[in-house]
A and B are shown apart, each in its own frame.
Chain A
Amino acid sequence: MSEAAPDANGPSLRPAAVAMDLERLGRQFPTRLSFMRVLTRAMCRERWRIEREHFELDDDGAGCAVYRIATPRHSYRMVLFAHALDPAQRSDRVIAEAWDVTATLCDGPVDAERRRFLARQVPRQEAGRLDSACLVLTRANRSSRQFDRVVAALAAGAQPSVDQLTEVGYLYRTTAVYGSGKFGMSEWRHVQRHHPDLARPFAAEMLACFMLRHFSFEQVEFLARRASPDTACTLDPEARRSLGVGNATGLGMAPFLINHPLLIGQWILQRETALARVLDDRTPSQDRRARVCTVLARAAEHLAQVEIDDPEQTECNTRTSEQVRSLHRWLASQRHPLDWRSVMRHAERTAAVEAQQVLESALIEAYPERVDELAEAMTVEEDYQLSPTMRGSALLELIETHYDWALAYDFNAPDAAGVFWYRSEEKLEPRLGIRGVDPGEEREMRLGLAREIASCHQALVSFLKQAGDVTTAEFVLRHPQWRYTVRRLQTLAQTPYGEIQANLLAADVMPIHLLRCKLAFMGVTKFDPRSRLWVRNTMFQGAPLAEELEPGCADDWSFPVLRRDARS
């Protein structure tokens, strides 16, 4: 196991070189600190109530549904518009113009007039204008093969087969979930101040996805009843739980991770703190060991059940499943007392990074009383202050010690900056171009932080040679183009983890690692890469249902597994 950095205020944390390595971050799995888990825990603990207020669909399932979500403090509405979509128009791309369902999560009551306003704006998505009562805007497309099969099975009075559920795992797939002030909606600061129910990162967005899942059940049951009123049945709870919401995520998510380093660093710090607190238990009880074994066994089965098209990821899942099974067998067979650090060391010796990440998730899973409170510290004020009085020599030293990873790249090598990021005229979608080949290089987005730091370092060295050991203020006065970079790196240098350590301009960059890192924090499963640029995945699979939100509801749905023996 990599040596941990001492932390005077708490358990030993792993060094940034390990925790912030992009390839490692890109192989994470969700934990009990993931946002979906945190949200559903709160929903159960506080007995949120979800009631259908309006449900008017036609024979094709098109129409409008409104759900009231009542928390102990407030009530919200999820307003969904289901559309009859020509299958030829169905696309996961952000640049699509039509969807099977469009929806908004909003604050306060929704009467007929408000419904009419939303019916005019929500289906237009990016082209519409909302107001500050709206918290989230989203859309989704049906998984056509799954949706139709489930409706047909229910209409015939049967439950869908486990094989069918396993193959896809959801009825709807979201292709974008917008919040935080976009298209006239409420700003994050407002949500944070006025809606404590949703004052955690992406809580409102996750709630909208949870509600989309709930609607998908009610819609297939409605259509089954319409198709065959005499024979139709409802989805049984186990089948419902095994269905989540699909998601397709592309490059649009990548700039968020680069442009919010303090926030991402805070998430990683909480996850690392959770792991460190667990590793601090030097004499884990048999119960804890049993709990970790249970999660490992389930994770191995989960990975074995994942059915995706990508051969490389399939091979990886198979290998990871085997390695996790092996870790499970080894752990279960140990008769002598064992501390978690030696278990981690064993995993590092015998298993690849993916399996090590599964183990980390399993360890965190076993210690709710040590880690759950960390979920309340996932927000941070993102303020990148310049320290103008810092001497140039101190700034130089700071760069060379904290950003040595960035200085290690040779940006004279052609492949070190082989790609560039740009915004497309199609819905401002971020895209990747090949430098020297694709147009748009002169309008490049500034996401190549490693190169920026290296260039800033070079400018600083030259400046200090001429000007002597002047202040940072004087450097950024003469070189104003580096002021943002300098205040960012000065700020991040004060945090335990700093920046994600990667060169995003490298010809072989894997943006999918960025996407998966963020998606794991969201809590998604079943990563299904469609290329190095976008990934499908599943949200809320195995999560409690809307009608199960009670304090006693088991918060135990990591690595969801479909029980073949109990079904079909």
Chain B
Amino acid sequence: MQCTPNELLALLKRALDALPGHRLDADAVARNVVELEVLGLSGVHPSLALFNDDRNTRAQGPAIIHDDGVVHMADGSLLAWAPQVIDLAICQVDHTATVTLSIDSARDPLGLLPELIRSDRTRWRSAELSWPEDQDGHRCVLWLEADAVDPWLGRLDGPMAEAGRPKNPVSLMLARAGAGPALPKPPGVRWRITPDAFASRRHRALIRGLEIDDHDWDILNRLADRVLVESSDRSRKGAGE
């Protein structure tokens, strides 16, 4: 299914609105999913799991923050809770030149990327996000400068991934704006997608729209339709008829 980013956004918001008793910032979650698709990364498909698991939507959110900067996600999705995690990281970076949050038991680490992109970039100077890509010690790495639109995305191989890198599953580092050096672009990473490549994906999404898997699109529509109220002669009066 080909759709525009706006159509996907509206559909996701309706689908989230239809979730009874959810406690998410649905607007932010929907925007983050759309942004992932705009960047050519998978957003819609993993987001469908949010609708089947109360932990993702009705829970209180990540249990955070010990002094050592560990965020406990209890297998929650960062597609759902990225806004709150980035809020906390920004709060912490206010007090220290560089902050590292280790996020345990989190799914969908890429969910942090769009929230990071949309966050208040006057508060931080550079960011690095990494998470295990497989069981062999390879890690995905994202590096983003606050004054650039898009990140670098690449892979760090086993031994180098172990050396000097945080071992927690998902690691988010932020360097404060105007205080000390920026985080260096991590060495040894084989960069797969450059900011220029992301920019051209954005451009293509704006011109040609997004390609969403038909099955996923149907599921999302069915979820979104749950927010609709059946029509009747009486309800038409509620529109002025």
- Contacts from A to B (Cβ < 8 Å): 93-95, 129, 131-132, 180-190, 250-251, 383-389, 422-426, 428-433, 438-440, 442-443, 445-446, 471-474, 476-481, 483-484, 487, 530-534
In this complex, what residue of A is CB-closest to B119? A385
* Residues of B with C-beta under 8 A to A481: 22-24
Q: List 10 A-B contacts (CB under 8 A).
A: A93-B241, A129-B2, A188-B6, A424-B231, A425-B229, A443-B228, A477-B60, A478-B61, A487-B25, A531-B240
- Residue B207 at the chain A interface, CB threshold 8 Å: yes
Whether A184 lies near B209 (C-beta < 8 A) is yes
| CB <8 Å contact, A386 and B83 | yes
Q: Which 9 A-B pairs have the closest CB atoms?
A: A181-B6, A533-B240, A440-B229, A431-B238, A388-B87, A181-B4, A483-B25, A473-B87, A534-B240
Question: Given the complex of chains A and B, what is the CA–CA distance between A458 and B84 in angstroms?
Answer: 21
Q: Is B148 an interface residue (CB 8 A)?
A: no
Q: Compute how far the CA of A426 lies from the CA of B27 in the bound complex, rounded to whole angstroms.
A: 24
Q: Which of B13-21, B155-163, B181-189 contacts A (4 or more CB under 8 A)?
A: B13-21
Q: Is B70 an interface residue (CB 8 A)?
A: no
B109 cross-chain contacts in A, Cβ below 8 A: none
Contacts of B228 in A (CB 8 A): 423-425, 428, 443
B84 with A483: CB separation less than 8 A: yes
Task: Determine if A132 and B209 form an interchain contact, defined as CB atoms under 8 angstroms apart.
Answer: yes
- Shortest B129–chain A CB gap in Å is 18
**Considering the chains assembled together, what is the distance between the CA atoms of A446 and B17 in angstroms?**
9
B7 interface residue per 8 A CB criterion:
yes
Residue contact A477 to B88, C-beta cutoff 8 Å: yes
Q: Which residue of B lies closest to A386 (CB)?
A: B87
Known: A423-B227, A426-B231, A439-B229. A389 touches B239 (CB 8 A): no
A-B interface pairs (CB < 8 A), number: 150
Q: Smallest distance from the beta carbon of B155 to chain A beta carbons, Å?
A: 31
Q: A184-B209, A250-B240, A477-B61 are in contact. Are A438 and B235 (CB under 8 A)?
A: yes
B120 at the interface (CB under 8 A from A): yes
Number of residues from B at the complex interface, CB < 8 A: 50
B90 interfacial contact with A, CB 8 Å: yes
B165 CB-CB contact with A under 8 Å: no
Contact with A along B61-74 (1 / 0, CB 8 A): 11010000000000
Q: Is the CB of B229 within 8 A of A530?
A: no
Set B24, B62, B225, B227: member contacting A477, Cβ < 8 A:
B62
Chain A positions within 8 Å of B91 at CB level: 388-389, 471, 473-474
Task: Give the CA-CA distance A429 to B26 in the complex, in Å.
Answer: 21
Shortest Cβ distance from A473 into B: residue: B87
In the assembled complex, the Cα of A187 lies from the Cα of B208 at a distance in Å of 10
Does the CB pair B3–A190 fall under 8 Å?
A: no
Contact of B60 among A384, A430, A478 (CB under 8 A): A478
Contact between chains at A389 and B27 (CB < 8 Å) = no
User: Which of A182, A188, A425, A483 has its CB near the most chain B CB atoms (within 10 A)?
Assistant: A483
Q: Which of B2, B6, B14 has the most CB of A within 10 A?
A: B6
Q: Is the CB of A429 within 8 A of B239?
A: yes
CA distance A180 to B5 in the complex (A): 10
Query: Residue among A183, A389, A433, A478 with the most chain B CB within 10 A?
Result: A389
**Among B5, B87, B88, B230, contact of A425 (Cβ-Cβ < 8 Å):** B230
A473 and B227 contact, CB distance less than 8 A: no
Q: Which residue of A lies closest to B8 (CB)?
A: A181
Q: Give which listed residue, A95, A477, A534, contacts B64 with CB less than 8 A.
A: A477
A432 CB contacts on chain B under 8 angstroms = 238-239
